[in-house]
Structure 1
Amino acid sequence: MNRAPSLSPRRPAPAGPLLRRRPAGWALLALLLLPAAEAAPRVGQHDGFTRLVFDLGSATPAAPQVGFVGGKFTVTLQATLKAEQGPLNVPGVTGYAVKGGQVTLGLAAGTGTPKVSLLPAAAGTPARLVIDVPKGAAGVPAAAPAKAATVPAQPAAAKPAAPAPVVARPASTRSAVRPVIVLDAGHGGIDPGMVSRWVVEEVVTLDIALRTRAELVKHGVDVVMVRETDRHLSADKTADLDARARLATNDRVSAYISIHVNSASPAAQGIETYYFGQPLAGRSRSLAVQENGGSSVGEALTRRALNSAQGLLGDILAQAKLAFSRQLAQKVQSRLISATGAVNRGVQTDAFYVIRNPTTPAILVEVGFGSHPVEGPRLATPEYREKLAQGLARAILDFLNTK
């Protein structure tokens, strides 16, 4: 996936006292005087749709208006965007144009109505306009693209190579015998994960992972971060999950921890930790499918993971590694509940694709429900995330027998 625009949010103009009692016309003028947000889209390919993500800067605009004008799909925002246009050679989309607060897409023949989402700015992450365009039957543009681009958008890479993992080590003497932990902040880039009125999953998981790393490094543990910023490893979800899981498949890694935020009905709350295996009897498949990519992609990857689980039953070495995973999961669950006082939803098994490889103790932890009216706002606070990070780090140190 291309990431042509900078992900650093622009700093909004200071709200001085002169703006407090101005009439509505002054508010519009102040909006127009703000720096223009980046406009070139990031493009990702998903099963059944093409995703375009526009960064909007640090201010979250009001809900957009959508519709068709002159045969083109338009999204109108109360924001000032950098003027750009260009062709896009991706399924469902022939080109784009941005001017003022309006984003216009040229759609391929037979393309359905796009789905529009607005993700709020949070914790250093800019607000984003997300447009999911259904792929047509042919999957290729049928009409000529828009006029020649002033600043052409780069075509999306099919499967970009995963960047080298970032390893954090203590400042003291570094030895090859130091334990190595992989921290996977779930989602990121074109896949924000769960989104509620209080939190965005990719923001929460990254913040907790960075805080956990800081604590582990203090105790002499080397930490490999799957991501340190709002990015993905591949625009293709299967390749993305494969790249994450591969970071754990070497003799130096002591454990792999994937961090996520749960979502369900408003009544659901609490923390639960998983290690790989068959789902418990009667359990819904929705969580594993959701974390494995959602829709048909998630269904396919969950089936592959379940096949792996079935194949591990007769593998003595694999069973030993899964026993260590269960031990790690139990320590993490216990420490997180003790640190936060959250509802204890227990340790469970399920077919999460990213932890399917049994060569390293690996777990997936759901640190809470961003959809819960109490737990969601809690997850939005630095203080609660620090409690989660401290509990997670302490559990990992317990597992490593490190003080």
Structure 2
Amino acid sequence: MTVSAPITQDVLTIPRKTPETDRINLVGLTRDGLRSALISAGTPEAKAKMRAGQIWQWLYERGVREFDQMTNLAKNYRAELAEIFSIEIPEVVSRQVSEDGTRKYLVRIAGGHEVETVYIPEEDRGTLCVSSQVGCTLTCSFCHTGTQKLVRNLTAGEIVGQIMLARDDLGEWPEPGRNPRNETRLLSNVVLMGMGEPLYNFEAVRDAMKIAMDPEGISLSRRRITLSTSGVVPEIARTADEIGCMLAISFHATTDEVRDKLVPINKKWPLADLLESLRAYPKASNSERITFEYVMLDGVNDSDADAHRLIELIRGIPAKINLIPFNEWPGAPYKRSSNNRIRAFADIIYKAGYASPIRKPRGEDIMAACGQLKSETERARNARRSPAPD
């Protein structure tokens, strides 16, 4: 196979080549991107769609990482593919397992940067919490990740690669000769609630989730994928149109004054603007409710008056309110609301006709709970900056 034309940036997502080998990484390319890459590398256009479909299934249905294993491709074609392309996913640097079974992965991506990914097993599902950025720009004052500066956006391959590495660890790829659709789905749900603001990395998140939802690959239902945003209003309608997944809002306050402090993006898009965009959200319905995430902070946003204001604010929006006991981290400026206060808050919301589940903290012993993610590299860097105790 000879390269007949250069592969242009509008075909492939960045980074186009793996730094170690100068080969083009296929993980993260859309179907159209994969087909275009094969054509640019010499595959006849008449066969490129079929070849792309075959490779796609090996990558995302079977979890294959070597071209030699793609046995429905000719041997010489496999060798030629291996000269030009690679199949690379992020590297697992460390894996911690909580007492409750939660798994936290420290993941290294291109450039030596690190993010964290969390798998949460439950009786009826297994949920993977995926990161979309190294660090975060939002500086939400209750979130540990918000104390880490943004380094860069993840590529589509680095985002979907987190799903692939978790399936590796869970042993979830089908065994040779078995139908993938008969396998147990240990990883059944994905939430974009890890490090970063997904809507500030829209295109890469969209492409990664399209790969995850493709029926000839990982094959997750769009209703089993939830994107959580702090309120990037201009991208909310686009999420429905171009991704189609479930939507969650990091809400956390019932007045602009308090939300400005907790979620500073509120200064750009205040509550009125955010709520207007949610009322117009194309997929909002009784069967596809918007989830309002609300972290419970002692004496800050947990009063009865807050609960009643919350009900009035979301009136008319198909919604459920997910109450999150604050997961404390070293140096955190807030305390968790008491169990009695959280229950009283939940009762007010429930009596108003809204589901108000109280999220059970998971993985706190390994700093894997909601709002606690922060890479080991950043922790080590901060530790070096801190003066030694007397």
TM bucket normalised to smaller = under 0.3
More helix by share: 2
TM-score (norm 2): 0.27
More strand by share: 1
